[in-house]
Copies of this chain bind each other. A is one copy, B any other.
């Protein structure tokens, strides 16, 4: 087992949940997907995230999927499991199960019922009463959760909860927020900041103090390359890479459509066997597929130009 710590950096890929054509879990594709991410250089992996169709699994399926996933990763890199639940009893049980199976930490998003700064801080304090000292990722994703965490709320959570080791930063806009979080004295200890939003602002985020990305994109090599170039100080090269992928990133960022785009490209590349989504959720239409094919062709040409 590899445990998530405050030193997490690099790319944590948020993994999709592969299904066979008939909608059942596809463990062969899961293995291939895990192997691909490991080969390409993932620093960590995240499962049962919001994009991963976690809510479309039965509790038993979710458990079997995570177990299989963890077995394949085999402790080589930390695996973060999304455990956000409507109640703490469920969160506690799921956390216990996945940590026992070898997860490196869990991720918790705030429920949309929270109304004030105090309620947000209080919620995380209550959660930790249930999950104990399990390392956890604080998920800051207001576009989906509708919960806006100010810098002072994040600082209060980090101060009171030593097991909060990482911020999944997905506020939008959020560049100034990263800068502020990295200012001297704002947080009383340094935690890892990994960014979301499909990597759309990854160079700027790294320059402002992020440690990497925790997000998904159908061509994850973009994230590995951008992070590597930024860490090496090659800002111009990092932007060259980002910009080559940007037309497709823009396309995948369409709300509600992103996962279908990601699975279509992953299937086309042979990583997963089928681009099946469980209902509600549908595969792409003919025109959308043609648009993506064109974007992929142009992307390949642009990358070839860059060398």
A123 to B236, CA, bound (A): 40
A208 to B286, CA, bound (A): 12
A214 to B208, CA, bound (A): 34
- How many Å from the CB of A262 to the closest CB on chain B? 14
A126 to B243, CA, bound (A): 40
Chain B hits for A153, CB < 8 A: 116-117
Closest B residue by C-beta to A298: B239
Per-residue 0/1 for A230-255: is the Cβ within 8 Å of any B Cβ (1 yes, 0 no)? Answer: 00000010010011001100100011
Check A118/B278 contact, CB under 8 A, given A87-B57, A239-B247, A287-B208.
no
A254 to B143, CA, bound (A): 12
Does A72 make an interface contact (CB < 8 A)?
no
- How many Å from the CB of A161 to the closest CB on chain B? 16
Closest B residue by C-beta to A148: B115
Does A27 make an interface contact (CB < 8 A)?
no
Does A303 make an interface contact (CB < 8 A)?
no
Contact B173 A89 (CB under 8 A): no
| Identical chains in the assembly | 4
Check A118/B150 contact, CB under 8 A, given A242-B247, A250-B246.
yes
- How many Å from the CB of A204 to the closest CB on chain B? 6
Check A255/B173 contact, CB under 8 A, given A56-B87, A115-B148.
yes
Query: A80-103: which have CB < 8 Å to B?
Result: 85-90, 93
Closest B residue by C-beta to A87: B56
Query: A85-138: which have CB < 8 Å to B?
Result: 85-90, 93, 115-119, 123, 126, 129
Closest B residue by C-beta to A56: B87
Does A71 make an interface contact (CB < 8 A)?
no
Contact B59 A59 (CB under 8 A): yes
Chain B hits for A152, CB < 8 A: 117-118
Closest B residue by C-beta to A243: B247
Sample 26 A-B pairs with CB under 8 A, ordered by A number: A55-B86, A56-B88, A59-B59, A61-B89, A87-B278, A88-B278, A88-B279, A89-B278, A116-B149, A116-B150, A116-B153, A117-B117, A123-B280, A126-B279, A173-B254, A173-B255, A175-B254, A176-B285, A176-B288, A179-B287, A201-B250, A236-B298, A239-B247, A243-B243, A246-B250, A250-B250
Contacts A117-B150, A246-B250 aside, 5 further interface pairs with beta carbons under 8 A come to A55-B85, A55-B87, A55-B90, A176-B288, A200-B250
A-B pairs, 10 with minimum CB distance = A55-B86, A56-B87, A115-B148, A173-B254, A116-B150, A117-B117, A59-B59, A55-B87, A173-B257, A58-B93
Residues of chain A touching chain B, judged by Cβ–Cβ distance below 8 Å, are 53, 55-59, 61, 85-90, 93, 115-119, 123, 126, 129, 142, 148-150, 152-153, 172-173, 175-176, 179, 200-201, 204, 208, 236, 239, 242-243, 246-247, 250, 254-257, 278-280, 285, 287-288, 291, 298, 302
